[in-house]
A and B are shown apart, each in its own frame.
Chain A
Amino acid sequence: DAGVTQSPTHLIKTRGQQVTLRCSPISGHKSVSWYQQVLGQGPQFIFQYYEKEERGRGNFPDRFSARQFPNYSSELNVNALLLGDSALYLCASSWMTGPKTQYFGPGTRLLVL
């Protein structure tokens, strides 16, 4: 079975632009979480979706939004990019919410110039 996939793998944008990152969970997993990892830090929680509904949101501005599709894949959108949005964006899936093993994708590395 394929693991969690993310696209694109790398992305370069300029300040003020908008970006969309994509995640496909492991088959059968209904929960998708997004994390931001700035260089040298641990990941920070951005969003969790389960059964197409937002189940949690981290301390991120409204420029960050996400959604989950009927096939459980997910998109993370970031508007009005700032230099500080440069980070590795990780997606993780699990079969449901709660204390379950999360399976991480390879991440999308975003550089904002």
Chain B
Amino acid sequence: KNEVEQSPQNLTAQEGEFITINCSYSVGISALHWLQQHPGGGIVSLFMLSSGKKKHGRLIATINIQEKHSSLHITASHPRDSAVYICAVMSGNTPLVFGKGTRLSVIA
């Protein structure tokens, strides 16, 4: 079974800071997802990637398949970015395996 580790577990940043959240996994994958979960519980899919880099607005996700590592970057962070960010991986058609999440608080 794939083991997914995220770091840091908690992160507090000042508004405007550049933020990086890391995810590492133990077994080769077919896809990696970055998800955002707000306090109400609902989850939004931010990215699904299997190689390289994707960008959407102020969010950038990268993945290094050889190193089994992915990063989520937030540029010019804003208080509305405060949420839990979860990394999840899939190998073939196996179900998603989730990390425990990184709790981000952005202070104005």
Q: Residues of A at under 8 Å CB distance from B?
A: 33, 35, 37, 40-45, 48, 55-56, 58, 88, 90, 92, 97-107, 109
Given the contacts A42-B86, A42-B88, A106-B40, A101 and B45 also touching, CB distance less than 8 Å: yes
Interface pick from B13-21, B56-64, B69-77, B96-104 = B96-104
A-B CB pair tally, cutoff 8 Å: 64
Q: Residues of B at under 8 Å CB distance from A?
A: 4, 30-31, 33, 35, 40-45, 48, 50, 86, 88, 90, 92-101
Are the CB atoms of B41 and A107 closer together than 8 Å?
A: yes
Picked from B42, B86, B92, the residue with its CB within 8 Å of the CB of A106 is B42
Residues of B within 8 Å of A58, CB to CB, are 95
CA distance A26 to B36 in the complex (A): 19
Are the CB atoms of A33 and B45 closer together than 8 Å?
A: no
Residues of A within 8 Å of B41, CB to CB, are 37, 88, 90, 106-107, 109
Residues of B within 8 Å of A90, CB to CB, are 41, 43
Given the contacts A41-B100, A99-B30, A99-B50, A48 and B95 also touching, CB distance less than 8 Å: yes
